[in-house]
Amino acid sequence: MDARTHRRPRAVLAAVALVATLGLTACSGGDDGGSGGGGGGDASADAVDAALEKGGEITYWTWTPSAEAQVAAFEDAYPNVKVKLVDTAAAADHNLRLQNAITAGSGAPDVAQLEYQSLPQFVLPGSLVDLTEYGFADLEDKYTASTWGSVTIQDGIWGLPQDSGPMALFYNKRVFDENGITVPTTWDEYVEAGRKLHAADPTKYITNDAGGDAGFGTSMIWQAGGRPFQVDGETVTIDLQDEGAQRWADTWNTLVQEELVSEISGWSDEWFAALADGSIASLPIGAWMPGVLESGAAGGSGDWAVAPMPTYDGGEAVTAENGGSAQVVLEQSKNKALAAGFLRWLNSSQDSIDVFLESGGFPATVADLESDDFLNQESEYFGGQQINKVLVDAANSVGKGWQYLPWQAYANSIYSDTVGQSYLNRADINDGLKAWQEQNVTYGQEQGYTVEEG
Amino acid sequence: MTAATTPRLRRAAAPRLDTRADRPVRRSPGLTIAMTLFLVYSLVPLAWLVINATKTQPGLLDSFGLWFADDFALVDNVRQVLTYNDGIFVRWFANTLLYVVVGAGGATVLATFAGYGLAKFDFPGKRAVFAVVLGSIAIPGTALAVPTFLMFSELGLTNTIWAIIIPSLISPFGLYLVWIFAQDSVPTEVLEAARVDGASELRTFLTIALRMMVPGIVTVLLFAVVATWNNYFLPLIMLNDPALFPLTIGLQNWNAQAVGVGSTPIFHLVITGSVLTILPIVVAFLLLQRYWQSGLTAGSVKA
């Protein structure tokens, strides 16, 4: 989620400064990264079991709230292993520190959390361990296709999915009902609902978007059918004016230019307050949102509901991933087999996933998504709605073939300077996307990639 | 600094200030209004901080920012700040103190030695040192953070307390201030008299010059303490172990908890923690401000 980068420019500057300084070295090291894969499945899975039995100490960096309970359960199950847990609070600083430790050559953890969108940035310089050699290919069937696709790039397995964020439309049912608005099923209806709501009550907005959240923009392009980034080895193709990107930008132009969206930045105290009192009436956002609403906007309890994402043509349901992360093993780890063992337990054992689910997380594992317990759960916050039925349908209708840039963190950091400017000037978002593309092409070439414009 | 020496020094500096005060007082409604506006502008954020430290997390979101909510939770908030996450805030407080005492204290000692030496001794290359020091003042610490990080990572010092303390020890501005202050406030004749009487250079420095330089040194100390206490960028990129964080990074960490998947906002603790963080600095200013003021004028008059 890139509200983060928007909110803390200093952290971003640091990341950019370092990435800018080190990008070239990082890229040239790309070829020899993650070698040694392709061992026999069973033999290597045995090596992991042996390492777990033998024990040792590993370090784990994460910002997942359930991590402490998960680590405790792991240490109960494997008493010889000691896990040093470092709470890194949120993704932006986490990535910065991880990048710094990798650059420094020491101080990186054995296992770390990484957002799906940041994964390529660490895979290509060879900072992560290809888990194929530990027999992780056998785990493929456990995960949804879209999350497994996110961790398997460049012919390797670079992590195990922790959670997923298929997008759905979260809306404030009370506000919708009070203003006679029906749940929109197409984006045209959504725009219309925005007009109606703001006309009926000028303090209320259909949603918020300050134009700084690249994570939201890319997910929306994904949902609209756009596939602007294609990565093939060292060759990157960028086309931020493909059909899907234009389709999203055209719709959003109307919302922004008619001032139907609130300019409150995501994740600010103002934002939580507006979600609690209904002045932001809906959010197209990832399926992990219920937990966030419960902990951050307790005042809105009973008001909210979930519906499938609106579509552009009113046809078949299609959505995109928004946020979500995997855990990875770092190349710097001194005990990779043990680290892989912890990771395997963390994201594929039922003991661990149950702890994760209890904390309100949205899983990436098919068995949990399809279990009756999960599907029939009635959420009190959502007025008794069985929200997981809607969210699991979303998980099954994620558009295929999406890829992120190998420098997505940098790209996201310049999103508000390009696309965000269109919001600010109430200008055509397509022009902002073109400017974003142009700067990314330049940056990619500077980093030593062959960049083609689609 | 001993209590006995300070009044004498202030008396020495007094005449220069008095000539200004003798000027007839001019009243200007425009200036008064401008100053009042500026005062309000400066104090509103502080008032906001203190008022909101009394609110619970839900109260914070529901109530008007510049007035109290129905619930008064200051005591409970302070207790939560001190105990949240096994009392990590106390740890951050102790870290900050360590960085300030060793870093800012060391910077002051080094600046005092070097500044005095440059002011009172002639040696070849003095002009070059002067140029380098002046040049260093012009470079903001933030610009040096990334090169410093790369250097420290070569040395294997990142993610240790030394990564914060060593860069804090260098204060070109402090050095410059002591230099100017020593030139101004320590008469060379006094030093020569001491030498004639047979005092060693070290003794002359410790028993005579040092005492005359107290206002300047306290000013440098205050500058260094404030800079180290508020140091953000350097620890941000140097440290990754929460157990080593200073308060600035720790609070930022708490603030960041509100962001993204698995968000757990604790804005009320961030605000109450911020109040606790600025308290020592406020106290330091109130206690030492007279040194601070005299130090500032000493520098400006000379320049």
pLDDT tens track for A386-434: 999 999 999 999 999 999 999 998 999 999 999 999 999 999 999 999 9
Pair (B47, B181) in one structural domain: no
Residues of chain A with C-beta less than 8 angstroms from the C-beta of B232 = 10
Whether residue B139 lies inside any domain: the answer is: yes
In a domain, B203, yes or no: yes
Percent helix, strand, coil in chain B (nearest 5)?
75, 0, 25
CA distances from B225 to A93, B96, B281 (A): 26, 10, 8
Q: How far apart are CA A268 and CA A270, in angstroms?
A: 5
Are B165 and B189 in the same domain?
A: yes
> What's residue A371's pLDDT?
95
Is A10 within 8 Å of B58 when comparing Cβ atoms?
no
- Determine whether A209 is exposed, middle or buried from the number of CB atoms within 10 Å of its CB (0-12, 13-18, 19+): buried
Query: Looking at beta carbons, which residues of chain B come within 8 Å of A105?
Result: 153
Contact B61 A276 (CB under 8 A): yes
A83, β-bridge pairs: A58
**How much is the pLDDT for B96?**
97
| Average pLDDT rounded to a whole number, residues B209-222 | 90
Give the distance between the most distant pair of CA atoms in chain B: 74
pLDDT at A204: 96
Q: Quick one: B109 and B236 in the same domain? A: yes
Q: How many residues does chain A have?
A: 454
Q: Give pTM, 2 decimals.
A: 0.83
B240 touches chain A (CB under 8 A): yes
Are the Cβ atoms of A86 and B242 closer than 8 angstroms? yes
Domain that holds residue B244: 85-302
Token pair 């790309």 is found at: A30
pLDDT exceeds 90 at position A34: no
**Averaged pLDDT, A330-358:** 96
Do B38 and B94 reside in the same domain of the chain?
A: no
Query: In this predicted model, what pLDDT tens digit does every residue of A352-394 receive, in sequence order?
Result: 999 999 888 899 999 999 999 999 999 999 999 999 999 999 9
- The alpha carbon torsion through A197, A202, A206, A210 (nearest 10 deg) reads 160
Residue B25 predicted with pLDDT over 80? no
Of A11, A93, A324, the CB nearest to B261: A324
φ/ψ (deg, to 5) at A167: -80, 145
Q: Which percentage of chain A shows pLDDT scores above 70?
A: 91
User: Does A106 touch chain B if contact means CB atoms closer than 8 Å?
Assistant: yes
**Is position B22 within any domain?**
no
Say whether residue A101 is in contact with chain B using an 8 A CB cutoff. yes
For the segment B49-73, the average pLDDT, to the nearest whole number, is 88
**When comparing pLDDT for A15 and A313, which is higher?**
A313
Question: B270 at the A interface (CB within 8 A)?
Answer: no
Q: Which of B62, B239, B256 lies at the smallest CB-CB distance from A89? A: B256
Q: Are residues B49 and B182 in the same domain?
A: no
| Together in a domain, B151 and B270 | yes
Of A430-434, B166-170, B226-230, highest mean pLDDT: A430-434
Provide the pLDDT confidence category of residue A127 given band limits of 50, 70 and 90.
very high
Provide the mean pLDDT of chain A.
90
- Of B19, B43, B72, which closes a domain? B72
Note whether A386 contacts B: Cβ–Cβ < 8 A.
no
Q: pLDDT at position B292, please?
A: 62
Q: Indicate whether B182 and B296 sit together in one domain.
A: yes
Q: Which residue has the tokens 């914060």?
A: B164
Which of B259, B264, B270, B274 to mutate to test binding with chain A, by most A CBs within 10 Å of its CB?
B259
pLDDT band at B151 (very low <50, low <70, confident <90, very high): very high
Instruction: Say if residue B57 is in the same domain as residue B161.
Output: no
B156 and B284 fall within a common domain: yes
pLDDT at A191 over 90: yes
If asked whether residues B258 and B226 sit together in one domain, one would say yes
Q: Hey, are the CB atoms on A286 and B261 less than 8 Å from each other?
A: yes
Residue B173 lies in a domain: yes
Among the partner-chain residues B156, B254, B263, the one whose CB lies closest to the CB of A296 is B263
Instruction: Give the mean pLDDT of B140-161.
Output: 89
Q: Where is pLDDT greater, at B261 or A346? A: A346
Interface of A with B in 252-281 (CB under 8 A): 267, 269, 272-273, 276-277
CA distance A207 to A194: 8
Contact residues on chain A for B242, CB-CB shorter than 8 A: 86-87
Residue A358 in 3-state DSSP? helix
Identify whether B183 is part of a domain: yes
Same domain, B55 and B101: no
Model confidence at A42, in pLDDT bands (50, 70, 90)?
low
pLDDT at A8: 40
Nearest-neighbour CA in chain A from B255: distance (Å): 8
Rounded CA-CA distance B119/B141 in Å is: 25
Question: What token pair was written down for A382?
Answer: 């959502």
Which residue does chain B place closest to A98, by CA atoms? B240
Q: Name the residue facing A64 among B85, B156, B262 (closest C-beta).
A: B262
Structurally, chain B folds into a number of domains equal to 2
Q: Which tokens sit at B76?
A: 């409970």
* Domain contains B186: yes
Q: Which two tokens stand for residue B6?
A: 């300070």
- A–B CB contacts, 8 A cutoff, strictly below: 132
- Predicted pLDDT at B293: 64
Q: Among A147, A219, A295, A391, pick the best mutation site for testing chain B contact (most B Cβ within 10 A).
A: A295
3-class DSSP assignment, residue A227: coil
Decide if pLDDT at B61 tops 70.
yes
Within A29-135, where are the H helices?
Answer: 41-54, 67-77, 91-104, 119-123
Mean pLDDT of B102-114: 96
Domains present along chain A, CATH in parentheses: 33-164+324-370 (3.40.190.10), 167-320+401-453 (3.40.190.10)
Residue where a domain stops, chosen among B72, B102, B128 = B72
Give the pLDDT band of residue B296 (cuts 50, 70, 90): low
Kindly determine whether residue A18 and residue B60, on different chains, have CB atoms separated by under 8 Å: no
- Here the ipTM equals 0.81
> Which residue among B233, B241, B263 places its CB closest to the CB of A267?
B263
Query: Around Cβ B23, how many Cβ atoms within 10 Å?
Result: 7
The pLDDT of residue A2: 42
Asked if residue B80 is part of any domain, the answer here is: no
**What average pLDDT does the segment A37-42 reach?**
44
Bridge partner list, A326: A114, A161
Q: What is the pLDDT of residue B264?
A: 85
Residue B201 pLDDT exceeds 60: yes
CB contact under 8 A, A96 and B232: no
Minimum Cα–Cα distance from B260: chain A residue = A1
* Between residues B83 and A104, the one the model is more confident about: B83
**Would you say residue A20 has pLDDT above 50?**
no
Q: In what helix (H) or strand (E) does residue A436 lie, and over which residues does it extend?
A: helix A429-446
Is the confidence at residue B302, as pLDDT, over 50?
A: no
Q: Are B160 and B266 members of one domain?
A: yes
Residue B249: inside a domain, yes or no? yes
Confidence of residue B20 (pLDDT cuts 50, 70, 90): low
CATH of the domain at B128: 1.10.3720.10
Report for A35-39, B62-66, B183-187: range of highest mean pLDDT: B183-187
- Can you give the pLDDT at residue B3? 42
| Domain end position, chosen among B72, B107, B133 | B72
Any CB–CB contact under 8 A between A72 and chain B?
no
